[in-house]
Amino acid sequence: MKKYTIKKPAGGLHIVHPQKFQIDYKNELNKAQYDAVTSINDPHLIIAGAGTGKTRTIVYRVAYLVELGVKPEHILLLTFTRKAAQEMLRRASILLDHRCERVSGGTFHSFSNSILRKYSNLIGYERNFTILDQGDAEDVMNLIRTRLKFDTRERRFPRKETLYDLYSRSINTKASLTEILTIDYQHYLEDEQDIRKVHELYTEYKITHNTMDYDDLLLNFNKLLKQNEPVRAETSNHFKYIMVDEYQDTNKLQAEMVKLLTYKHQNIMVVGDDSQAIYAFRGATIRNILDFPDDFPGCNVIKLEENYRSTQSILNVANEILKRAID
């Protein structure tokens, strides 16, 4: 016999009449901020200049989504540090109510970690994998370098730091080893095959010993979602509204993560300022924010330009510094 139960329509938002909102969004925000906060579905890019109330905007948007009836668990907020996410959610909770504390928030790395702990067996890891920091990763490189007897050669072979740097950069920037060597380490071009060998063994080593380095957290997240349609669908369906802060300082793997996460919907808002991109040395690429409208067609761009922090004299100097930028 068939069993009949009732459930709420999937993904449906309550239609809340503006007058019923607890928060007076229109009065508490300026025009651009209000537009950002109330733009819900589809891709949005918020260009937030320094001191223009970026955090405030994110906090209000979290509250707005929750007021609309989106389940807090279905909202994902990715930030540059975990402290930033905690702070924003704390402020949203004060602004609206404690529901906002249940919003999922963290860094790309901590978010990947939480998903990987659930599904690590699908990509050949046990759940109790440990994480190698940069120093540990370099030590492993050294171990392999010695094991392959590259330490006793006549010619100079890259040191462990260089081996790791080459590895991490080729992963983060998705550039080939040949490219990176040609640009920065011309003198090691001849050793390319041997460097590749070290990197291969390094990759094997991590799997055999149930460890991941920082890049692996992102790389394996993408691998997991790419190779497993059910996990991809489940994850994307779960996180229905995604926000990313400091988008100008994300790397290529993170941009890829965003695409995978939004594949069931396009409800993504990234916030950032291309003029404040300062993490290229760690593999971040300003291209992510510049190319966002191409990566997400139909994207709506909103600019926050009213500054609440500095005097006009200070802003004049800042504006002038940017004006002389080389295009």
Partner 1 sequence: MTLRHKYSKILFTNKSEGNLPQLIIAENENLQSKFVVQKILELREQGTHLEEIAVLFRSSFLSFDLEIELAKANISFRKYGGFKFIETAHVKDMIAYLRVLENPRDVVAWNRILLLVDGVGPRSAEKIIEDILHRRADTSISDFWKDFNRYPHSVTELFELLKSISTDKFPPAEKASRIITYYHPMMKKKFDDHTKRKKDLEMFEQIAERYKDVGSFLTDLALEPPNESIADIEAVDRDDEHLTLSTIHSAKGLEWHSVFIIYALDGRFPTMYAANNVEELEEERRLMYVACTRAKENLFITYPINIYDRESGTILTKPSRFLEGLNDKLLEPWVVDEEG
Which residues bind to partner 1, rule: CB under 8 A? 47, 49-52, 55, 80-84, 107, 109-110, 113, 126, 128-133, 135-136, 139-140, 143, 205, 208-211, 214, 246, 274-281, 286, 290, 301, 303, 305-322, 324-327
Least separation, in Å, of the C-beta of 230 and partner 1?
25
Cα–Cα distance, 280 to 312 (Å, whole number): 30
Segment (H or E) for 132:
strand 130-132
| Cβ proximity of 169 and 199 under 8 Å | no
Least separation, in Å, of the C-beta of 288 and partner 1?
13
Measured from the CB atom, is 1 or 325 closer to partner 1? 325
Measured from the CB atom, is 117 or 155 closer to partner 1? 117
The per-residue DSSP string of 207-240 comes to HHTTEEEHHHHHHHHHHHHHH-HHHHHHHHHH--
CA–CA distance from 219 to each of 5, 154, 250, 276, 288 (Å)? 41, 36, 14, 26, 17
Least separation, in Å, of the C-beta of 217 and partner 1?
8
Least separation, in Å, of the C-beta of 17 and partner 1?
32
CA–CA distance from 47 to each of 65, 208, 296 (Å)? 20, 44, 15
Measured from the CB atom, is 67 or 216 closer to partner 1? 216
Helix, coil or strand: residue 131? strand
Measured from the CB atom, is 49 or 158 closer to partner 1? 49
Measured from the CB atom, is 154 or 294 closer to partner 1? 294
Least separation, in Å, of the C-beta of 1 and partner 1?
45
β-partners of residue 243 are 77, 269
Least separation, in Å, of the C-beta of 209 and partner 1?
5
In 3D space, the residue among 240, 249, 226, 234 whose CA is nearest the CA of residue 269 turns out to be 240
DSSP at 308: S
Measured from the CB atom, is 10 or 325 closer to partner 1? 325
